[in-house]
């Protein structure tokens, strides 16, 4: 059910592939904040319209300005179609199972609508904080999330209380993530989300499209800003707390990392080095369980990530790889 385009400086774009209670909660929070700043809300459903319950479509349409169906599987395809369907000056993004907190939208878009904005400031990102169940959270799970400022578990993205620019300097490059980010509309005249990455129930991939876009912008000299006041919560579902659930996620993450680095032409370790590291992790745990502060679960998940990277390189080897140890 797609209505005519609304004239708005801001669009909030949410993608989903199924009807769920969390989607309704997200849209209610978005609708309230969108009304405060005069934004429209665009819901892109990544499913065939004939396969989506008509009653659910009507209910969801009452929470949005527009609903758009995109049949081609993959969140990246849904995002690209959604971007093409709006003329707004700024597009804000959040996930269908995220919980935007009060002030999320206004603080996220403010730097991008500021009349004094530098021309090369084209994107913002905010905090994503995992909300754990009251009980039943394994210690290894919480430790793996809380030991770093960013984590694919949760997910978590918390760079602190002070605004700062995202940067390509340093061994790791944090970037705005899809659950809480916004971009100026003009970047999409040149850039798109890559269908080779991103959640896709046909391919089994779980993410990476947001990282690829952000890194490409940074590599090309454009600027992105971290906005700590912009906060979304992301509930950690109980069924996602097991090692059995997380292992495939880390394997997928490994594929995404290898694919991302190849697309961006970023130097990466050779398959020989990755295999060596994977064997070493197993030997370290066998020789000294829980040594170096690594739990059994963390070792298992790290080995799965490395396995995903190796498998992706085996499927699509580069013409030249980094030397061993690189």
179 touches 234 (CB < 8 A): yes
* Tokens of residue 221, six digits: 């000299």
Buried-exposed string 199-237: b where 16+ CB fall within 10 A, e elsewhere: bbeeeebbbbbbbbbbbbbbeeebbbbbbbebbbbbbbe
Distance CA 73, CA 77 (A): 7
Sole residue written with tokens 């989506």: 52
Q: What is the pLDDT of residue 326?
A: 30
Distance CA 301, CA 141 (A): 11
Q: Give the fold, CATH level 3, of 10-240.
A: Spore Coat Polysaccharide Biosynthesis Protein SpsA; Chain A (3.90.550)
Residue 72: how many CB atoms within 10 A of its CB? 14
Domain ranges in the chain are 10-240, 243-315
Q: What is the pLDDT of residue 2?
A: 46
Q: Which residues pair with 90 in a beta bridge?
A: 10, 184
Q: Vertex 194, ends 189 and 196: CA angle to 5°?
A: 165
Low-confidence residues in the chain, pLDDT < 70: 1-7, 169-172, 285, 287-293, 317-326
Q: What is the pLDDT of residue 161?
A: 96
Q: Look up residue 288 and give its DSSP letter.
A: S
Residue 294: how many CB atoms within 10 A of its CB? 16
3-class DSSP state for residue 265? Answer: coil
Q: What is the pLDDT of residue 293?
A: 62
Q: What is the pLDDT of residue 267?
A: 87
Q: What is the pLDDT of residue 108?
A: 98
Distance CA 16, CA 264 (A): 27
């Amino acid at each position: 059910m797609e209505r005519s385009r609304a004239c708005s400086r801001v669009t909030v774009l949410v993608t989903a592939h199924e009807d769920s209670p969390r989607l309704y909660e997200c849209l209610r929070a978005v609708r309230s904040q969108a009304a405060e700043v005069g934004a429209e809300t665009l819901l892109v459903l990544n499913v065939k319209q004939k396969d989506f319950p008509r009653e659910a479509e009507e209910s969801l349409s009452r929470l949005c300005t527009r609903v758009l169906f995109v049949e081609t599987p993959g969140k990246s395809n849904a995002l690209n179609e959604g971007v093409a369907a709006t003329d707004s000056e700024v597009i804000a993004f959040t996930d269908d199972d995220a919980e935007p907190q009060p002030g999320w939208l206004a603080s996220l878009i403010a730097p991008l609508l500021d009349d004094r904005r530098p021309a090369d400031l084209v994107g913002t990102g905010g905090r994503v904080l995992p909300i754990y169940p009251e009980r039943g959270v394994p210690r290894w799970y919480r430790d793996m999330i809380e030991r770093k400022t960013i984590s694919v578990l949760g997910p978590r993205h918390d760079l602190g209380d002070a605004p700062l620019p995202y940067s390509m300097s340093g061994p790791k490059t944090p970037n705005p993530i899809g659950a809480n980010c916004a971009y100026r509309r003009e970047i999409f005249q040149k850039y798109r989300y890559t269908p080779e990455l991103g959640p896709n129930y046909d391919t089994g991939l779980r993410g990476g499209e947001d990282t690829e876009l952000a890194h490409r912008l940074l590599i090309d000299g454009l600027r992105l800003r971290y906005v700590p006041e912009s906060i979304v919560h992301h509930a950690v579902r109980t069924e996602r707390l097991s090692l059995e659930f997380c292992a495939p996620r880390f394997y997928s993450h490994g594929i995404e990392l290898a694919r991302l680095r190849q697309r961006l032409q970023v130097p990466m370790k050779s398959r020989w080095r990755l295999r060596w590291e994977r064997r070493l992790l197993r030997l370290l745990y066998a020789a000294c369980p829980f040594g170096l502060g690594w739990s059994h679960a963390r070792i298992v998940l790290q080995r799965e990530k490395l396995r995903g990277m190796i498998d992706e390189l085996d499927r699509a080897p580069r013409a030249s790889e980094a030397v061993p140890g690189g």
